[in-house]
Amino acid sequence: MGFTLQELATLSGGDLSGDPAQVITGAASLAEATAGEITFYANPKYMPLLRKTRASAVFVPTDFDDAIEPAQVRVANPAKAFEAVVLKLAPQPIRFSPGIHPTAVVAPDAKLGARVSVQPHAVIEPGATVGDDTVIGAHAYVGHGTTIGAACMIYPHVTIRERTLIGARVVIHSGAIIAADGFGFEIVAGRHQKVPQIGVVQIDDDVEIGANTTIDRARFGRTWIKEGAKIDNLVQVAHNVVIGRHSVIAAQTGIAGSSRVGDYVMMGGKVGVTAHVEIGDRNILAASTGVSKDLPPDGGTWWGTVAVPLREAKQQLAWVHRLGQLFARVKAIEKKLGI
């Protein structure tokens, strides 16, 4: 499949400088593009890559006036124009036909909506409900009494345990485990004794959960992932955690039990949140940040954690907090000495 440069210029509403009949058959980054492909340039720091690109054409800003060899399509937003072309050139999305595969195991009292697709070797237990247009992938497991809303995509090898509540248009990627027992134990007579985990997991509409992420069921009540939250691969969400609306959590983050994350929070990779912490709305946590205390709403951007012996860490922290006083004293001494 391909498009002429004139077709691409028309599609993007751009102004073409180059051969309108030239055919474009692919799209790639500035560094990877080759002849017959189109790329895009939107940031001056990538000018060296633009000058070396082997692409046949480039989406550039409307005010671009440098002399380069590839044809140019001037547009208001080169990144969005490029994205539209990528979608046009991409293979069609895979569609799953409605119906239950002969190898799937579906309980007689399970309720399946219209156009539901149940793929090979999936298991849907008694009392489960699956909404219209939802796909249950191969080898996926839907536990007893679980409710899954409409237009969800449950990829292969997802495990959703009993009594889980899932809204509409939720995407759960392969290997994710929803509603495993929370990690709760107490010492009784010198031995660890399991604390019953009898709560549920609730996942609201338009949530996406990455591969091999685990979301534990509540000890009691619910672990709650609110509307529009996006959770990356390999994230651990412990029992009774609440993740706010439209928050974004990157890979390898761990959130300990009963912590609450506000709306529109952003967490980088490997963030660690201790138990019973509240992170207010719209905070940003940079990669590897450790959170052990509450963060206020709109608190800004946070970063930093270093593992050292506790006594040493407390001493270092005290020193850091006194640095301002030390600098002031040094400045005063320098002034007296005329330095």
Name the residues annotated as catalytic: 239
Judging by beta carbons within 10 Å of its beta carbon (0-12, 13-18, 19+), is residue 108 exposed, middle or buried? exposed
Cβ distance 232 to 251 under 8 Å? yes
Residue 77, phi then psi, degrees to nearest 5: -135, 90
SS3 32: coil
Whole-angstrom distance, CA of residue 138 vs CA of residue 324: 60
Give the ranges where the chain is alpha helix by DSSP (H). Answer: 5-12, 47-52, 78-89, 310-337
The pairing of strands 185-188 and 222-225 is: unpaired
Q: Which own/partner contact pairs does 329-334 have at CB distance under 8 Å and 24+ positions apart?
A: none
Cβ distance 182 to 194 under 8 Å? no
The pairing of strands 99-100 and 117-118 is: parallel
Tokens 């490997």 label which residue?
270
Rg, Å, the chain Cα set? 27
Residue 301 neighbours by CB under 8 Å, 6+ apart: 283, 284, 285, 286
DSSP 46: G
